[in-house]
């Protein structure tokens, strides 16, 4: 069921956002030149590597003017609908990490394998709730993986769209805190604290 929702959602997302994605690509080309897309190897399900796609937001190690807007709104992540259609990402799941991230966090040991038992996500409970540490992020990932629910997925997807529409900071101030409390209290969320 999760995969069906992913395919329908990503296909719909590409249709709905095809014009904004085209405009973003043109703005990046005009303001910063090519390439338009940023590609990076991340670890997917069962720690298998895949290439994640994003709109490029940096040049020579610095965030560009266009990149600041893309990052603030989450528009830089729209090309990841393609990753979802390829089966490399899910709409909701743990954040896709690089091998360097895994080593830096100390999550290479088999005891952390649970985190890679499902596809990583474009959005995730830890990102939306706003985990403040690696330990808290891992805790939220564990809770989500232990009991994923379609209703929770739909809520997190809605919050992701709110972030795109309002910007990350404004959306967190207006929506995320209230919604995160509701998610923690929701039956079946598995969350009693963070």
Q: On the CB side of 167, how many CA atoms lie within 13 Å of its CA?
A: 6
Say if CB 70 and CB 76 are below 8 A apart.
yes
Residue 180's pLDDT is 53
Q: On the CB side of 140, how many CA atoms lie within 13 Å of its CA?
A: 25
pLDDT in tens, the chain (194 residues): 889 999 999 999 999 999 999 999 999 999 999 999 999 999 999 999 999 999 999 999 999 999 999 998 889 999 999 999 999 999 999 999 999 999 999 999 999 999 999 999 999 888 887 778 999 999 999 999 998 888 889 888 888 877 766 666 666 666 555 655 555 565 554 444 43
Token pair belonging to 145: 């993986």
Considering Cα of 105, then 146, then 128, then 7, what sign does the dihedral take?
A: positive
| Domain layout of the chain by residue ranges | 2-185
Residue 74's pLDDT is 85
Residue 194's pLDDT is 38
Q: What's the length of the chain?
A: 194
Residue 50's pLDDT is 98
Within 8 A by CB and 6+ apart from 2, the residues are 90, 148, 150, 153
List 52's β-bridge partners, or say none: 40
Say if CB 35 and CB 107 are below 8 A apart.
no
Token pair belonging to 39: 């590609």
Alpha-carbon span 65 to 82, nearest angstrom: 25
């Amino acid at each position: 069921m999760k995969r069906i929702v992913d395919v329908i959602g990503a296909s719909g997302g590409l249709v709905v956002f095809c014009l904004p994605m085209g405009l973003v690509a043109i703005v990046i080309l005009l303001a910063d030149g090519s390439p338009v897309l940023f590609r990076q190897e991340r670890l997917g399900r069962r720690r298998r590597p895949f290439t994640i796609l994003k709109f490029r937001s940096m040049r020579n190690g610095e965030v560009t003017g266009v990149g600041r807007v893309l990052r603030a709104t989450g528009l830089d992540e729209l090309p990841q609908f393609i990753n979802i259609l390829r089966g490399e990402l899910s709409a909701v799941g743990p954040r896709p990490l690089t091998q360097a991230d895994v080593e830096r966090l100390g999550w290479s040991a088999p005891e952390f394998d649970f985190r890679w038992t499902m596809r990583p996500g474009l959005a995730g409970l830890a990102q939306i709730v706003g985990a403040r540490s690696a330990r808290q992020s891992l805790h939220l990932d564990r809770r989500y993986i232990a009991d994923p629910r379609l209703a929770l997925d739909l809520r997190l997807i809605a919050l992701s769209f709110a972030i795109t529409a309002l910007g990350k900071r404004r959306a967190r101030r207006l929506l995320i805190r209230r919604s995160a409390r509701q998610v923690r209290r929701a039956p079946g969320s598995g969350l009693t604290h963070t």
